[in-house]
Structure 1
C-alpha cells in the first residue's frame, strides 16, 4: 500500500528538529497535534495521571517524577462504520535521550536528508517510526472504501518512554478515547523483526561504607573499593549463572540475555583521603517469564553471602535499594491476529521469513499488554544505533516500514 513519501520525509525531518528531551516534550507534541489535525485526524491530548502512575509498580513515588506539561497526543481516523469494526493503535514515543554534542559529527537537531539517510537525535529512536505510522494510517484511509473497512485507526505520539512510559502508561491505564482499543503496533526500530517479548528491568542503588583516614596512613582507614570489587565480582558471577540457567527460546542467540550494568560508580571525595563511601547505580535484566521481585531476591541473596564473609561488611552492612523505574518483562502470543497480520504484510513486501525476536530492553508495549491490548513491536532501522552519536535512519527502511504497517493495519481491521 503506497504512502505519501514526500510528506513522510518532511514530517520526520520536522519531528527530529525538536530537542524533545524527557520533560521537554511539550513543543514537539504541540506541533504533532497540529500536524495530525491538518492531515485530517481528530486529535486527543492527555497529561500524565498521577493516580494511574502511582498504582503502577513500574514507577517510583509520583512526587519524584516530573509530570508537569508533558502531554501525549493521539490522532483518530474513522473508517466506514467505526463502531462496527476494531480500533488499531499505531505509534510510539517522541521523547529522545540526551546528546553529548561533542561526540557527534553533525548537529543532532538540524536534520537533513542526505544520500538516503537522515541523521539526528531521535531519527531512529523513534520519530521515524511514529511518522511512518501516521502515513500508514492515511494510506489505509485512502483505500478504506474499496476494501470495505470499518473501525478506527489511532496514531499516538507519547511522552516519557525513556522514563518508563509515562504517556503510554496513562493511555493504557486511563483510556483517553471514547472507545476501546483492540490491538497495537509500536514502531520501535526492530530491523523488520517482530518483537513479541521484551526484557524487564530492575534498578538498584548500592551503597558501601568504609572508614576515612589520611592517605599517608591508609591502614588507619577502611577503603570501600575492595569491598565493592568483591560485590561486583559476585554479581557478575550470578549474571553468568543466570545466563545459563534462565532460558527463553527468543533469547537463545544472546550470550548474556539478562545483563547487569554498573552504570555509575562514585567513591571518595579527596585524593589524600581513604574513600569511605561508594554509591553505584545498577541496572539488572529481568527475563519475560520472571518477576522483578524474584530477580531482586536473587541479587540480594548474593549480596548477603558476600557480606557474611566479611567482618567489616557484617558490622557495616551495605544498602541495596530500588530507585527510578522498575518493570516486568512482557510477551504477546505470536498467534494473536495483529502479530500474524504484521508477519504476513512483511512477507508480502519482500521480508523473507520475518524473524520473531525478544528485545533485551523494555518498550511501551508492556503497558498496552497489561491493559489487555495485544501489541507487537515492529519498525524501521536497527536498535543497535539507538542512543548513539550520529544516530540515523535509512529512508528506504522508513518507506518500507510505513507500507508494511499500512498493509498490516488494513488486514488487522478485516480480521477482528
Structure 2
C-alpha cells in the first residue's frame, strides 16, 4: 500500500500520548507498519529491567511504567531471507541474538508528548491544523489542508520525525525493488521504532537497550529528534537533584525569633549559579563553544513555608544541573554537593541543621559518538545526496534516547526535522518541507550506511 506521510503524521498527532497514555498511539503505529509489510514487534517498559539501569531509581514503581508500550517494524532488504512479512508483534526474542552479517539500522522516534495547556494554544493542541507559514497566527477555522506547516502537540517533538522514519524505510524498500537503490550482497535491515516514555527518561528505549526485543543485533541508530536537519553527535546529561532546608518558624511580628529558610536558599542558589559560570569556563568541549551557557543549572520548582504571617521554616527545591559529555552524573553531583557544603560551613544555623541534597526522578547520563562514526558520515552523505548542504555535527544541551543506544554499544546520531525551539511550546509547529527533506536524507543515509558497512 502507498504511504501517506501527511495523513500518518496528522493522525499520530491526534493521539493524546502524554506520559502513560502511549498505548493507543503505539497500536496505531503498529497497525500502520503491519499494513505496510513490516514485521512488527512490541514490548512494555519493565521496572525490573530498568532497576538495573543507572538512569532510573532502584525502587521504580511498577505503576509508573504501566501502559508504556513501544512498537517497531522491521524490513529485511536484499540478500538472503528477504521475506518482508508481518507478524503479530508479541513474539519474544531469544535471550541473545546470534551473529548476523546483515547491517541493521534503527530509525527511532518517541510516541510520548508533554502536556499542553489549552489556554495557551490558538486551537485544540491535539487537533492538527495545516496552515501556510505566512498565516501561522491565523484563525484555525481558516486552516488549509494543503498548508505547508503543521501545528499540533508533538508535531516537532517528534511525531513528524517518526513519520519521516517510516516513510524513509518504505522509500528504501521500494527503491531496492525497482532498482533505484543499490544495496551490497549483505543487504540491509531497517528497524523503525516508536518508543514510549522518552520525555520522562526513556522507558521504552532503555528497556530495549537492556533487554533486546529483537532476534538480531543492532549496529547503529538515527534518532529523529528535531535538529533542523543537522547531525547531533553529543547530548548533554543532567543531574536531577532536590534540596530540603529546615529553619525555625516564628510569628511574622517577631520574625527575629525565627530562622528563615529563604535567605539560606538564596545563598545556595547563588552558589550554584556561580558554579554554573565556573564550569562554563573550566569544562570545555569542542561542540559546545557556541553556547552562552553550555552546562545550564535551573531551579525549576521551589516550595516554602506554610502561612503568610509565619517565618518559613521548611523549603524544598528541585534543580536540573547540566552534565557535559565526558563527565558522569556522579562527578557533577559531587561538585555541587561540595559547593553546598561551603554554604553550610558559612552559616551557623545550617551547620547545626544541614540541608538534605539528594537525587530524585530519572538521571540523564551524557552521550557522545565520534564525528567519523559510520552512521554520522552516512547522515552527512544523505544530506549531500538529496541536495542539502553538508553540515558539521554539533552538540545539544538536552538529553535524548540516543544515550540508551550509546550505553548499549550502539552508535546513535540525532537527526530530524523541526527545531527544538518549538518543542514543548504553545502552538508547536513544523515546516512540512523540512519533514520531506528529512525523509529523503534518512533514506539516502540508510543506503549509504549499508554500503559502508559492507565495505
Counterparts of 1:98-109 in structure 2, within 5 Å, are 98-109=115-126
Q: Tell me the residue number matched to 1:59.
A: 56
Q: How many residues align?
A: 413
Contact 1:45 1:73 (C-alpha < 8 Å) held by counterparts:
yes
The structure 1 residue matched to 2:19, chosen from 16, 19, 22, is 22
Is 1:152 the counterpart of 2:169? The answer is no
What root-mean-square deviation, in Å, do the aligned CA atoms of Structure 1 and Structure 2 show?
Answer: 1.4
Q: Which residue of 2 aligns with 1:92?
A: 109
Contact kept? 1:112, 1:118, Cα under 8 Å: yes
1:403 correspondence with 2:444:
no
Which runs of 5 or more residues in structure 2 are unaligned?
82-99, 133-147
From 338, 353, 365, the equivalent of 2:402 is: 365
Structure 1: distance between partners of 2:60 and 2:376: 37
- 3-state SS in 2 of match to 1:244: helix
Q: Which has the higher helix share?
A: 1
Which of 110, 121, 124 lines up with 2:156 in the alignment? 124
CA–CA distance in 2 between the matches of 1:382 and 1:350? 20
Q: 2:267 aligns with which of 230, 250, 253?
A: 230
Tell me by how many angstroms 1:182 deviates: 0.9
> Matched residue of 2:364: which SS?
coil
Quote how far apart the aligned CAs of 1:154 are: 0.4
Pick from 334, 340, 356 the counterpart of residue 371 of structure 2. Answer: 334
Aligned with 1:213: secondary structure?
Answer: coil
Matched residue SS, 1:306: helix
Written as runs of structure 1 = structure 2, the 5 A alignment for 1:224-303 is: 224-303=261-340
The corresponding residue for 1:34 is 31
Contact 1:60-1:325 at 8 Å conserved across structures: yes
> Distance between the aligned counterparts of 1:84 and 1:178, measured in 2?
13
Looking at structure 1, the residues matched to 197 and 376 of structure 2 have their Cα atoms a distance apart, in angstroms, of 25
Q: Counterpart of 1:77?
A: 75
Residue number among 170, 177, 198 corresponding to 1:138 in the alignment: 170
Measured after TM superposition, the shift of residue 396 of structure 1 is 0.3
| Corresponding position: 1:320 with 2:357 | yes
Deviates more, 1:323-332 or 1:343-352: 343-352
Instruction: Report the secondary structure of 1:63's partner residue.
Output: coil
1:48 pairs with 2:80: no
> For the residues of structure 1 that align with 2:17 and 2:159, how far apart are their CA atoms?
11
Aligned to 2:87: none
1:49 is displaced (CA, Å) by: 2.0
SS of residue in 2 equivalent to 1:51: helix
Q: TM-score, normalised by structure 2?
A: 0.89
Q: 1: CA distance between counterparts of 2:288 and 2:58?
A: 32
8 Å CA contact retained: 2:381, 2:448? no
> Which structure is higher in RCO with an 8 Å CA cutoff and minimum separation 6?
1
User: C-alpha displacement at 1:62, in angstroms?
Assistant: 4.1
Post-superposition CA distance 1:136-182 (Å, at most 9, x none): 00000011242245121000000000111100011111110111111
Aligned to 1:249, what secondary structure does the other structure show?
Answer: coil
- Cα 1:148–1:314 shift into 2, 3 Å: closer
Contact 1:84 1:151 in 2 (8 A): no
2:425 to 388, 392, 398: 388
2:323–2:329 Cα contact (<8 Å) kept: yes
1:185 is displaced (CA, Å) by 0.5
* Structure-2 separation of matches of 1:220 and 1:370: 53
Once the two structures are TM-superposed, the CA of residue 84 in structure 1 deviates from its matched residue by 4.7
State the Cα distance separating 1:264 from its structure 2 match: 0.1
- Is 1:168–2:168 an aligned residue pair? no
State the secondary structure of the residue aligned to 1:73.
strand
Contact 1:264-1:281 at 8 Å conserved across structures: yes
Task: Tell me, in whole angstroms, the C-alpha distance in 1 between the residues paired with 2:412 and 2:4.
Answer: 27
Deviations 1:212-260 (A, max 9, x none): 1111111111111110111110110000000000000000001110010
Distance 1:352 1:29 in 2: 34
Query: Would you say the 8 A contact 1:47–1:69 is kept in 2?
Result: yes
Q: Which moved more, 1:108-117 or 1:11-20?
A: 108-117
